[in-house]
Structure 1
Amino acid sequence: MSTTDSPSPLSPEDVAVITGNLDEVAERARAAAEAAGRSGDEVRVLLATKTQPVEKIRVALEHGFTLIGENKVQEITGKAEALADLNPETHLIGPLQRNKVNHTLRHARCIQSVDNLALAEKINNRLDVLDETVDYFVQVNTSREDSKFGVAPEDAEALITETRKLDRMRLRGLMTIGLPGSSPDEIRPSYSDLRELSERLRESGVMAAEATELSMGMSADFELAISEGATIVRVGSSIFGARA
């Protein structure tokens, strides 16, 4: 299919599968929050839409889910026009190269993957030119895997201290990608460590008291992440099926 071709419409059966999955994930997230003694309203489901076609994303947005996340800047820009009428809250959840900052700020309301000062300064400088602001998360590599982006937990305080001086950026909280373990006991520390770090940095005043967001957990483990305090869970395959 060329880039100028219109996507094939989804069948009613396809639509029913997606909306059914959305309802199921929302209910599971609500139940996990309540089981942890929290309100179901405290957790938002972010639709991880990497490689997913626009027609599937539109079904989810029209079903009442407004928060979407893309891993790549080119996917944000490539889908923005086709989704503009539905006004989604778009987050960048993948790594951001400094030479892609300009394109990102045109469409993303939040950048969840800030993990170094040079990137944060580049973002802030561009926002000065645009006379705009953006929300951000600091990504922390709580699993300490070499293959993952994110600042080391012991270096998060220094990074946040510096990024908070950048007046065009509003820190909402912390983000992590959990360890892909085979049991809850293996995975849980990735999430509990982020929660404990957030609590410690807010108690010490390094992070503002209102920077309470924790973006963590994906399709395979979002209920576990919620039990450890997640406020945003990034769910894709459980809703849309395997990536295209």
Structure 2
Amino acid sequence: MTIAENFEEIRRRIAEAARRAGRDPDSVRLVAVSKTKPASAIAEARDACGQLIFGENYVQELVPKVKELSSDISWHFIGSLQSNKVRQIAGMVDLIHSVDRISLAREIDRQWGEIGKVCDILVQVNIAQEATKSGTSCEELIDLVREIAQLPNLRIKGLMTMPPFFDDPEAARPYFRRLKELAGEIEGAAIPGVAMQELSMGMSGDFEAAIAEGATLVRVGSALFGSRG
């Protein structure tokens, strides 16, 4: 299948999953994960499919792509972000999905402040407490959100998680459900300046289960562009 056919199929599945959950299909946005893919593949997805949101995992890949491609693309940073690389992407991305510690949040706040802008972020939660994945714990989440909310150049827009890998995507649903519950708890705390409008969860193998549990952003790569290389 071509990239265009892949996009059409994934969008159809997103819309169907939303309708099955009693949701408006427009309430779920596709983040096309373009890591390791050349700028030409991104341009093809934009031109042939109208895809405008792309997610990158690595600073060293994101920066040249942003410079090469047109400014109508909305870039999301979805990978683990080192504080010493924040400066390189300041002002380049519309949303950072992976803020998991106050030291990183402070550096983002500092770098965006230097260019007079505000950065929208999601707080990443490691619900399964897997040692190989980033993310704050469920127990520490509310305190981290309160701390980040004090930073003037950041806006918390929601939460992100990556569940353990399962052969059966239904097995991931409790983790997605828990993220939705955590978002509700934060909303209930009514922390000034904090919104829980975005839930970034679900990837190529389990995005339909994530949509059933409330995902608003699904991060799909291999099902769109083919296996990474």
Alpha-carbon displacement from aligned partner over 1:178-225 (angstroms, at most 9, x marks no partner) = 220122443111111101100111022147574220000000000000
Q: Which amino acid aligns with 2:63?
A: T
Alignment counterpart, residue 37 of structure 1, candidates 6, 22, 44: 22
Deviations 1:155-186 (A, max 9, x none): 10000001011111111100011220122443
Aligned partners of 2:192 and 2:219: how far apart in 1?
23
Alignment partner, residue 207 of structure 2: 222
Per-residue deviation, 1:94 = 0.4
Secondary structure at 2:156's aligned position in 1? strand
For residue 58 of structure 2, what is the amino acid of its counterpart?
K
Q: Say if 2:61 is the partner of 1:75.
A: yes
Is structure 2 residue 112 aligned with structure 1 residue 127?
Answer: yes
Matched residue type, 2:120? D
CA distance in 2, matches of 1:60, 1:178: 27
Of residues 128, 139, 152, the one that matches 2:124 is 139
RMSD: 1.4
1:202 touches 1:208 (CA, 8 Å); kept in 2? no
Q: Is the 8 A contact 1:173 1:212 kept in 2?
A: yes
Matched-pair contact (CA < 8 Å) for 2:204–2:220: yes
- Choose the corresponding residue for 1:188, options 173, 190, 199: 173
The aligned runs of 1:1-244 (5 Å cut-off) are 17-62=2-47, 63-83=49-69, 85-206=70-191, 210-244=195-229
Residue identity (%): 39
The CA deviation string for residues 26-76 of structure 1, in whole angstroms up to 9 with x for no partner, is: 110011011001000000000001101111111111121110010011111
State the alpha-carbon separation in 1 of the partners of residues 173 and 128 from structure 2.
Answer: 10
1:111 shift after superposition: 1.0
Q: 2:151 and 2:91 mapped to 1: Cα distance?
A: 19
SS across alignment from 1:26: helix
Equivalent-residue separation in structure 2 for 1:128 and 1:155 (angstroms):
26
SS in 1 for 2:2: helix
Distance 2:224 2:192 in 1: 33
Report how many residues are paired: 228
TM-score when normalising by structure 2: 0.95
Change (3 A) 1:186 1:207: farther
How much has 1:23 moved relative to structure 2?
A: 0.7
Contact 1:61/1:86 (8 A) holds in 2: no
Q: Which aligned segments of 4 or more residues in structure 1 are displaced greater than 3 angstroms?
A: 206-210
Q: Give unmatched runs, 5+ long, in structure 1.
A: 1-15
Which moved further from structure 2: 122-131 or 140-149? 122-131
Secondary structure in structure 2 of the residue aligned to 1:138: strand
Cα distance, 1:151 vs structure 2: 0.3
Could you tell me which amino acid in structure 1 is paired with residue 221 of structure 2?
G
Q: How much has 1:125 moved relative to structure 2?
A: 1.4
In structure 2, what is the Cα distance between the partners aligned to 1:210 and 1:123? 18
SS of the aligned residue for 2:151 comes to coil
Determine the structure 2 residue equivalent to 1:7: none
